[in-house]
Each structure stands twice: as C-alpha cells, then as structure tokens.
Amino acid sequence: MKRVLIRADASFSIGHGHIMRTFVLAKEYEQKGFEVSFATLNLEGNLNKKILDNKFGLYNLNTKNIQELIYLIKKQNIDILIIDNYEIDYKSEKSIKEKTNVKIVCLDDTYEKHYCDVLINHNISANEKKYKNLVPKNCKLKCGSKYTLLREEFYKYKNKKIKKSDEKKRVFVAIGGTDHSNINIDILKVLELFENLKVYIVTTSANKNLKQLKEYCKNKDFINLYIDTKKIAKLMAKSDFAVVSASVILNEVYFMQLPFIAIKTANNQKEIYKYLNKKKYLTIRSFNKKILREYIEELIRG
C-alpha cells in the first residue's frame, strides 16, 4: 500500500485552515487506497484529536528541523508528501526531494517559490501565470476554484433550498476556528443593531475567546452558536448572506453562491482580499463597525 504523509499544523495562532483543507486531500487519497498520516507539531490548540478521530495516522514532531521530517519520510517509506506549511520553504523542499525522492505536493496561497511536483492554490483568486518562475518547469499547477478543496457536504447542499419558518434574514458568521483576531463579538454587536435577523455563528473549542463568546450569546434568542459543528454546509444553505474572514471558508461560501462580506484578518489573506476588492465584492481591510453596518444594510435591502 502506498503511503501519504501530510505536513501541516494547527494552533491558536496558526488557526485550523491548513489542517482542515488537507483533510479533504486526506479523504481523497484514502478513498484511492492510500494509507494517510499527518506529521504535526504538538502546538496548543491543535487538531490532533480530530486527526485521530478520523482514523488517520499521526506523528508528533519534536522540532521544525527539516532533518526530522526527512528521517520520518525514510523510516515510514512515504511515497507522497503533502506540505501545507508557510515555514517550509523552497530550500527545504529541495533538500527533502534530493534526500528522499518523495513526490511533493505543495499547497500555496501567497505565491511563494516552491520545489515540488504538484502545486495547489485552490483559492478563487489563484492566478496560474504568477507561478511561471516560482516552480520547476515540470511542476503540475492546479489553480483556481476548479480545484477548491471541498468536503462532500458542500456538494450535497449546493443549490439546495431550505425552507424558513419565519421572515427573518439568516446570517452565517465564521471568522476562523480560533478567531485569532478576536472580532466575533464585535461582529455580533453590529448585527444586534438590526431587527428580524437570525445569526448562525460557528467556531471551535480551540477558540481562546470562547468563554466570552458563550457569555455574550447567552440569553440572546437571535444568535445560534455552533461549536465544532459538522453542519457548516447546511448552515450556509439556510442563510441569506455571510460575514466571514477572507480565508479558506471564503472558498466554501463562494462555492455555495452565498452573498458575503469578507473581512481580512491576517496577512496571508492579502491576495484573496485584493482579488475580491478588485471584483467589487463587499470587503473590509480590517474590522470596521461603520463599514460593516453599511454592508449589512445593503445585503438586507437585497
């Protein structure tokens, strides 16, 4: 049996996006008969339990040293290495290739230089031409929404109408599993200014600000707080519009054809923010109460 190793991390500061999108690849390779494992640093706020719950192998790395990863690849006879990690650069990838001859698949969304066999940029903003001098000539490029990494649930609920029991507008809110920018409550305070809204806000148990968020949501009938939910696609299908970070979740909202407001919450979202802004989508460079309120009014008016 051929073996796939995914090198990605999750934590309070990194967020969960890298692990969550590689989960889609992990499932695809598993269905093809590959044995799939993850190699991660044991960081605070990681998703190691989720990896194990999904019955994937897990190797906890002790360091960021590339030699430890090379040793693991050789010891476990890895055939394909998937890298979704900003700290592993071109030089490290080249070293891995030369010392193991493993097939390397890199995920990238910031147009960095890579030494790999396949490069995936699944963001809706991805531009294949930008990689002309950034990857080897024989590298296979998979760029754009055609290659968006989506869980099966999204295909199930795409274009599926879910009837409402009232006339309220439904708002889907997702600012990353860890909400490292800590703006969930700020967004809810703006939404609270409007009547006849129902809010579905999703987060995870790794959110450092979860206690405050729970306290804020308590006794507010218009807010439904979902923690570690597996019903993201269903919630999107029930919603009229979304307020999300300009991150991985944006690709899912776009696929579901759900009107949205995208807030840039991290530097690695710069490219997708620029693309959305250029295409005249509703974007916010960083949280701004006044602008958010104006955009919500616009979406409610339709």
- Residues noted as catalytic: 18
Instruction: Determine contact, residues 100/69, Cβ cutoff 8 Å.
Output: no
HSE-up (13 A, CA, CB side) for residue 231: 13
Instruction: Determine contact, residues 121/142, Cβ cutoff 8 Å.
Output: yes
Is the alpha carbon torsion for 210, 261, 258, 223 positive or negative?
positive
Instruction: Determine contact, residues 44/11, Cβ cutoff 8 Å.
Output: yes
H helix or E strand, kind and range, residue 260: strand 260-263
State the Cα–Cα distance between residues 211 and 204, nearest whole angstrom.
11
Q: CA 181, 221, 261 angle in degrees (round to 5)?
A: 40
- The H-assigned helical ranges of the chain are 17-31, 48-53, 66-75, 90-100, 152-157, 184-191, 210-217, 232-238, 248-255, 270-278, 289-301
